[in-house]
Structure 1
């Protein structure tokens, strides 16, 4: 019986994917990662580097940046400045790791992560943005969103969780909503972490076969395997219609998680004038990894 159940599970999760006009079979339950994924993952989506940052270099640089983040937090507490950093991207893009790298050494009383579950029955009857407003920062606080109101620009329309009219209304409302946030005096960052298709497949496979990460792989991830182009279309529309002067999108190439985290933090720190800022410790943002708006993605 157990073997029959395992076979059924494996069969149900094996999918045929269209990769560059060619049909490829991907069975996520097979412990062996397909060669075509392994060979293409790092360079997918025209990633500009051949290999990831050396771990020792990464950890040394990250420590310097995290010291700057602690200075930033102390400055926030002294001045009452409020900051929102919003992290979006496809599943397995590296949002959670980037948030951990940013907030891991900060006082959790003043650096809060918001990762809302699906709306309750009451929340579904409210204005779409209403439940997010209650989570926004108070004086001296940094709030980091692990996904956000932009669910309505991606997963909801792709998976049929909202109507086309709701999606259209969202895209019209969000620039005005975010303009209010900025005019309130909140420093507002929006990050889209971008990865290639083969890299996403590799990370899904890694999660499936790692007992410490299996919880990260959801049925929604499996259901979305054949919806890459749908997500791409909605991503492009979102970036085009919600990239504004007041609330621009910062696009981060994320095939190398280490480079993505370092440059994302550098971007934040370089745009804030806090006491004791060490520009040498921050370093220069890599313009091959960080760009602004839809024009950065080809």
Structure 2
């Protein structure tokens, strides 16, 4: 497949390649988790991204064959009145991984820098405190032995519009819908500005962001799994999996805000 085809819609040949690659990559994930269990490793993967960026489907493929007991997907609802009165990070702490656990946050504390900012669910002072504190918080997590991976999934405005429309029209996707979906397109530019500031201020050496071009769901899924294996697995396992395609998944850098790699 040529480079120009990598963001195109899948054809039959590509679907066959995906169907061949996915089980092989999932097997690498299983082997990786076996080692993590044996070594008592604590793994935390954070998925963030625009509405309908493909987080749910990617997480499903990651966890499909992993240990039910040792794997958790955390997708918290809006905070209660009691939680609103607590330290902001407090409600997330109880969900952090213990030894041998693989935890995925499907959205996380970064809600404060995204939807809360755009929708006015927290004050500008709260948002500024968060952006100042989160690098320190994540530094403590990494210092405690947690292996932290942060993934931003990005889609174009037109692709998001198509996916949101599918949610409305497909009864099997109705549970993916949210009242906030109605604001995703009208406030696209606000979400872009929030994303840019979040990535710029919370990308650190200890807790870097990787960004994924996710218009092509299957390409995104394969590259995310490759990244996880290459990042988290011991070398004998990691070397069996090719590196992610840098045109699909790339380490965040400031230049990405203006050079077209992120959707505006």
Q: Give the alignment's TM-score, normalised by structure 2.
A: 0.91
Counterpart in the other structure of 1:130? 90
* Alpha-carbon distance in structure 2 between the residues aligned to 1:271 and 1:204: 32
RMSD of aligned Cα (Å): 1.6
Give the alignment partner of residue 9 of structure 2, picking from 51, 55, 67.
Answer: 51
Q: Does 1:170 align with 2:170?
A: no
2:231 is the alignment partner of 1:292 = no
The SS at the match of 1:277 is helix
Choose which of 57, 67, 90 in structure 1 pairs with 2:27: 67
1:33-61 C-alpha deviation (Å, 9 max, x unpaired) = xxxxxxxxxxxxx9963333722211210
Does the 8 Å contact 1:71/1:275 carry over to 2? no
Q: Is this contact kept in 1: 2:37–2:101, CA < 8 A?
A: yes
Q: Kindly name which structure, 1 or 2, has the bigger radius of gyration based on alpha carbons.
A: 1
CA distance in 2, matches of 1:80, 1:275: 17
**Does 2:202 match 1:245?**
no
Deviation larger for 239-248 or 223-232: 223-232
> How many angstroms apart in 1 are the aligned matches of 2:148 and 2:176?
27
Q: Matched residue of 1:191: which SS? A: strand
> Is 2:192 aligned against 1:200?
no
1:84 aligns with 2:48: no
1:277 correspondence with 2:221: no
Residues in 1 aligned to 2:9 and 2:162: alpha-carbon distance in whole angstroms: 16
Unaligned 5+ segments in structure 2 are: none
Shift of 1:214: 1.6
Deviation at 1:216, TM superposition (A): 1.2
Checking the alignment, whether the CA contact within 8 Å between 1:77 and 1:140 is kept in structure 2 is yes
Question: For 2:224, what is the secondary structure of its paired residue?
Answer: helix
Q: Give the 3-state SS of the residue equivalent to 1:219 in structure 2.
A: coil
Cα distance in 2 between the residues matched to 1:116 and 1:272? 25
**1:207 counterpart SS class:** helix
Alignment of 1:228-267 (within 5 A): 228-267=188-227
Conserved 8 A contact 1:112-1:143: yes
Deviation at 1:178, TM superposition (A): 0.5
Q: Which has the higher helix share?
A: 2
TM-score normalized with structure 1 length: 0.81
Determine the structure 2 residue equivalent to 1:107. Answer: 67
Question: What is the number of residues matched between the two proteins?
Answer: 252
Matches within 5 A, 1:113-192: 113-192=73-152
- The match for 1:17 is none
1:120 Cα deviation after fit: 0.9
| Aligned partner of residue 245 in structure 2, secondary structure | coil
